[in-house]
Structure 1
């Protein structure tokens, strides 16, 4: 396995000493998960789902690129949201990052996420 690191997304290990990697390559697959954290401070950014979705997907994009991949190579996306009523707002932003053929996607409503996050995204991508 090979860790993926980037300055373009928050490192919660560096910022908060948490055992959380930015991304990991295993075989020919990159696994990454991100929150809407500021890349420098880790602070959750955005008061709306749109703002948080954009920051989260920017963080995912930076991690994918650092691992030699891109949204074009994403196979599967899992989206965790604290309110399914805001999911269409997430989709409006998500459409700017993906194109056909669309990755498989699972959406899960959760009762809470870290800090003030409304969304968390994890992806699997080919490298």
Structure 2
């Protein structure tokens, strides 16, 4: 196992890592809309989702993976009414390659954000 850590994504806010590589698979921790410096994006769900994807891009790159090698995503959202807006942003990052996905509405997310996403990806 190899712990993934990059300064281009926010540091873990608890006793966990940004992600782990096991054999040829990368497992990310859930990413929320924090900038790498730890500042929370207070914007709408579109802005928050773009920041989540910026964080995912950074940890994927550090692991030797990319959006093209993602095989599964899990999307946690605060309000299912935001599903269409999140989908619109999501499709910008997965325009052709469409990994398996789960999407779950949850009662609350860390720091009361609107969206959190985690991925599993193959290492190139």
- Report what 2:31 is aligned to: 34
Number of residue pairs matched by the alignment: 122
The CA distance in 1 between the partners of 2:20 and 2:7, in whole Å, is 15
Structure 1 contact 72–99 (Cα < 8 Å) conserved: no
CA RMSD of aligned residues (A): 1.1
Instruction: List alignment gaps of at least 5 residues for structure 2.
Output: none
Q: 4+ residue runs of structure 1 moved beyond 6 angstroms?
A: none
Partners of 1:29 and 1:81 in 2: CA distance: 25
TM-score, length of structure 2 as denominator length: 0.94
Alpha-carbon deviations, 1:47-81, whole Å to 9, x = none? 21001000001100110001100000000000000
Which residue in 2 is equivalent to 1:80?
A: 76
Shift, 1:8, TM fit = 1.1
In structure 2, what is the Cα distance between the partners aligned to 1:46 and 1:55? 11
Q: Which residue does the alignment assign to 1:11?
A: 11
Q: Are 1:44 and 1:116, in contact at CA under 8 Å, matched by a contact in 2?
A: no
